[in-house]
């Protein structure tokens, strides 16, 4: 997935009200940027961190810049939570996720569950429908372990229950974590920040929901789903 161009580098002044960030660009301008991330952004919102922002291409935008990347721990981290669905759509079209290859139709934002929409519904003749829910992951606190969520994620837990219900009906149900980092080679549910979600993920997996984790290659020009990452705290088979 190509990132919007042009991109500009700067330093984070502050992130506030969830969706705003002040950034001091390298050319000396201080700009208010849209921060497309409702989460806590732990470890990625410290004033002074190097960031990359994209310039808006439409006159209707209230803010002229969007926060896209943060430089952390020697690499780039994608913080735009709109990116993972775009990345997955591209990967599905290219059959770059082997576990989800072979489906003729990829529908997005399909109603399911209780007043919810699943990110992708995959279908093909002779195959059970495949419900795919995508979550953005960018938290890293120790070693090379990626974690989700970075705050209490009640809505994400609801999605797990709805995926479990689809699996019980005989469909494939997949929880796909897109790790927008290049420095992680394992994934785990973040039990100390949201124990209910961690327990729910394990319960969903036991009930037939498939859990896939994929890391990305990231540059200021593009982000691409690149490699399967193991789920470190996956429940043991019964």
Would you list the DSSP string of 88-114? HHHHHHTT-SGGG-S-SEEEEEEEETT
- Residue 16, domain extent: 7-76
Percent of all residues in the chain with a pLDDT value above 70, rounded to a whole number? 98
Q: Of 44, 76, 108, which marks where a domain is finished?
A: 76
Q: Which CATH number fits the domain that encloses residue 64? A: 2.40.50.580
Are residues 161 and 130 both part of a single domain? yes
Q: Give the residue from 131, 114, 113 showing the smallest Cα distance to 122.
A: 131
| CB burial of residue 38 (10 Å; 0-12, 13-18, 19+) | exposed
Whether 2 is in a domain gets the answer no
How far from 105 is each of 78, 92, 125, 177, CA to CA, in Å?
28, 10, 10, 21
Residues ≥6 apart with Cβ < 8 Å to 109: 117, 118, 119
Determine, yes or no, domain membership for 235.
Answer: no
Residues 137 and 39 in one domain: no
Q: What per-residue confidence (pLDDT) applies to 233?
A: 86
pLDDT tens-digit readout, 23-65: 999 999 999 999 999 999 999 999 999 999 999 876 567 888 9
- 191 by DSSP, 3-state: which? coil
238 assigned to some structural domain = no
151 in the same domain as 204: yes
Note whether residue 143 is domain-resident. Answer: yes
Angle, CA 224 vertex, CA 221 and CA 230 arms, to 5°: 140
Is the CB of residue 210 less than 8 Å from the CB of residue 201?
no
Do 64 and 100 have their domain in common? no
**Does some domain include residue 98?**
yes
Q: Is 55 helix (H, G, I), strand (E, B) or coil?
A: strand
Quote the pLDDT of residue 83.
96
237 belongs to a structural domain: no
Residue 190 lies in a domain: yes
**Is pTM, for the whole model, over 0.75?**
yes
Residue 197 has a pLDDT of 97
**Mean pLDDT throughout 7-33?**
96
Question: Could you tell me if 55 and 96 lie in one domain?
Answer: no
Same-domain check for residues 87 and 172: yes
The total domain count for the chain is: 2
What pLDDT, in 10s, does the model give residues 73-101?
Answer: 889 999 999 999 999 999 999 999 999 99
Asked if 41 and 100 sit in the same domain, the reply is no
CATH classification at residue 216: 3.40.1350.60
Angle of CA points 93, 99, 105, to nearest 5°: 40
Q: Which residue has the higher pLDDT, 5 or 27?
A: 27
* Residues in contact with 62: Cβ distance below 8 Å, sequence separation at least 6, in sequence order: none
**Domain assignment of residue 234, yes or no:** no
């Amino acid at each position: 997935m190509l990132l919007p161009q042009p991109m500009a580098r700067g330093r984070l002044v502050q992130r506030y009200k969830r969706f705003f960030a002040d950034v001091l660009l390298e050319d000396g301008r201080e700009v208010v940027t849209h921060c497309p991330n409702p989460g806590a952004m732990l470890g990625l919102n410290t004033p002074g961190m190097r960031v990359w922002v994209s310039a808006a291409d439409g006159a209707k935008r209230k803010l002229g810049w969007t926060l896209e990347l943060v430089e952390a721990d020697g690499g780039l981290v994608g913080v735009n939570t709109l990116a993972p669905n775009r990345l997955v759509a591209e990967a599905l079209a290219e059959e770059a996720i082997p576990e989800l290859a072979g489906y003729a139709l990829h529908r997005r934002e399909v109603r399911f569950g209780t007043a919810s929409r699943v990110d992708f519904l995959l279908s093909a003749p002779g195959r059970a429908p495949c419900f795919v829910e995508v979550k953005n992951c960018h938290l890293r606190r120790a070693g090379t372990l990626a974690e989700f969520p970075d705050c209490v994620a009640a809505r994400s837990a609801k999605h797990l229950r709805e995926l479990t219900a689809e699996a019980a009906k005989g469909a494939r149900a997949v929880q796909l974590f897109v790790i927008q980092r290049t420095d992680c080679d394992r994934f785990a549910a973040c039990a100390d920040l949201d124990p209910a979600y961690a327990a729910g993920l394990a319960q969903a997996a036991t009930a037939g929901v498939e859990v896939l984790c994929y890391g990305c290659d990231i540059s200021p020009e593009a982000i691409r789903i690149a490699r399967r990452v193991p789920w470190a705290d996956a429940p043991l088979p019964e």
